[in-house]
Homo-oligomer: A and B are copies of this chain.
Amino acid sequence: MSSEIVVIPQGGVASVRGFLAGAVRAGIKEGVDRLDLGILYSQQPCAAAGVFTSNRVKAAPILLCQKHLADGRAQAIVANSGCANACTGEDGLRQAYEMAELTAAKLAIQPEDVLVASTGVIGSFLPMDRVRSAIGEIVLSSKGGDDLARAIMTTDTVPKQIAVRFDCQGSRYTVGGVAKGAGMIHPHLATMLCFLTTDAPAGQGFLDAALRRAVDVSFNMITIDGDSSTNDMVVVLANGLAAGEPLDAQHPAAEAFCDALAQVCTYLAKAICRDAEGATKLIEVRVEGAASDADARLAARGVAGSLLVKTAVYGEDLNWGRILAALGGSGADMSEDKTTLYLGGVCLYRSGRPLDYDERAARAALAGAEVELRLELGLGEGVATAWGCDITEEYVRLNSAYTT
């Protein structure tokens, strides 16, 4: 396969042919002057797949999306920040449906082909008068991806978007993605929105499987604060404008497509960790030699999710015992005397014993913006990588005064 995956400079969801985007200031959160309502639109109907929060409290837009995706088709997404429309009961559900209807009317498509995404404070209602007029004002274009990326930000400090392309047997395929998320982030989806676009002519079954595979190695492997949100969603829209046969598992471009989707998701997932509330460092935890991949995932997420590991990394404190304690408490099978721990390139612990390591090199490995931990469990073939971030005083400050 010559299917090299190339990153498109300044790419995003609207870098994929046939997709348009745009956003406006609707003033959803009182007194906040920023883009807060956007639309992503495909000129062609799309095969679509989604993955949604596993929280039992599901926001109104999540319930709507699950219903509207039942037929595996969608053509537009309307998204807002400033209000999660969660814990809002029947009235909130009516608001979500009205957002879909208003968007459908604007685009002259069916309401059932519109998905809705909301993020922000839980437990308040949308100011529908402002939403109604704002939807009418949104201008869609192939340059609107950046505005959409900004409109879904809450405590995010930077927009998060990417597009990649690859060629296979004379066809060029493009995959774009946009995401938001900076807190309430935990394995199995938490307040995190991600919209993916592609021109690949993917069948719905294949698209759904490719999405689940990509999410499993990316968004399901990041953790910021262990809190799982009510509004998470990752949705992919495939409009089929790339030439060639429909993609299924046997298609020559299938593997490259899955890789491209996973690459886009992993880029966005890591971007979320880097931009996590108050964070100063991205933490990458690689686990090898676990009894199974499932155990490796448990172990990697357990270490990346440990508050004591996160605070030690923040303080650039060589308190590596916390890493082993988090591993031991993760639920994954492990044995101290078979475990080896590396910080960057420095081996700190091997086979049940602390090593007399080079402290200067270890400090240097903690000093950068990315900290790499590697755990070899010596039990089997299981591997996994998880990402997290440090937890800082700023995280506490941001989250002790979020609604006020």
Chain A residues engaging chain B, CB cutoff 8 angstroms: 54-58, 84, 86-91, 121-124, 183-184, 186, 190, 225-230, 305-308, 311-312, 314-315, 317-322, 324-329, 333-337, 349, 352-354, 391-393, 395-397, 399-404
- A183 CA to B319 CA in the complex, in Å? 14
Supposing A87-B349, A89-B337 touch, asked if A325 and B400 sit within 8 A by C-beta, the answer is no
Q: Identify A317's interface contact among B184, B226, B336, B401, CB under 8 A.
A: B401
Interface centre among A186, A190, A336 (most CB of B within 10 A): A336
Q: Tell me whether B56 and A353 are in contact (CB under 8 A).
A: no
Question: Chain B residue with minimal CB distance to A328?
Answer: B57
Q: Identify A325's interface contact among B122, B124, B308, CB under 8 A.
A: B122
Q: A89-B337, A227-B326, A315-B401 are in contact. List 19 more A-B contacts (CB 8 A).
A: A56-B335, A87-B352, A89-B336, A121-B321, A122-B322, A122-B324, A184-B325, A190-B329, A227-B306, A228-B328, A230-B325, A308-B399, A314-B396, A317-B400, A317-B402, A319-B403, A392-B400, A393-B397, A395-B396
- A123 CA to B328 CA in the complex, in Å? 14
Residues on B with C-beta less than 8 A from A334 are 56-57
Residues on B with C-beta less than 8 A from A324 are 57, 86-87, 122-123, 230
Q: Tell me whether B226 and A399 are in contact (CB under 8 A).
A: no
Q: Identify A315's interface contact among B305, B337, B404, CB under 8 A.
A: B404
Q: Tell me whether B329 and A56 are in contact (CB under 8 A).
A: yes
Q: Tell me whether B399 and A325 are in contact (CB under 8 A).
A: no
Q: Identify A314's interface contact among B186, B225, B226, B400, CB under 8 A.
A: B400
Q: Identify A396's interface contact among B124, B318, B396, CB under 8 A.
A: B396
Number of copies: 2
- A315 CA to B230 CA in the complex, in Å? 22
Q: Tell me whether B321 and A84 are in contact (CB under 8 A).
A: yes
Residues on B with C-beta less than 8 A from A321 are 84, 86-87, 121-123, 230
Residues on B with C-beta less than 8 A from A395 are 311, 396
Q: Tell me whether A306 and B89 are in contact (CB under 8 A).
A: no
Taking the closest CB of chain B, its distance from the CB of A208, in whole angstroms, is 24
Taking the closest CB of chain B, its distance from the CB of A130, in whole angstroms, is 20
Q: Tell me whether B230 and A352 are in contact (CB under 8 A).
A: no
Taking the closest CB of chain B, its distance from the CB of A341, in whole angstroms, is 9
- A401 CA to B226 CA in the complex, in Å? 22
Q: Identify A312's interface contact among B308, B354, B392, B402, CB under 8 A.
A: B402
- A84 CA to B319 CA in the complex, in Å? 12
- A336 CA to B59 CA in the complex, in Å? 10
Q: Tell me whether A354 and B402 are in contact (CB under 8 A).
A: no
Residues on B with C-beta less than 8 A from A393 are 393, 396-397
- A336 CA to B87 CA in the complex, in Å? 7
- A328 CA to B52 CA in the complex, in Å? 14
- A351 CA to B54 CA in the complex, in Å? 21
Residues on B with C-beta less than 8 A from A391 are 396
Residues on B with C-beta less than 8 A from A328 are 55-58, 228, 230
Q: Tell me whether B89 and A329 are in contact (CB under 8 A).
A: no
Residues on B with C-beta less than 8 A from A399 are 307-308, 311-312, 315
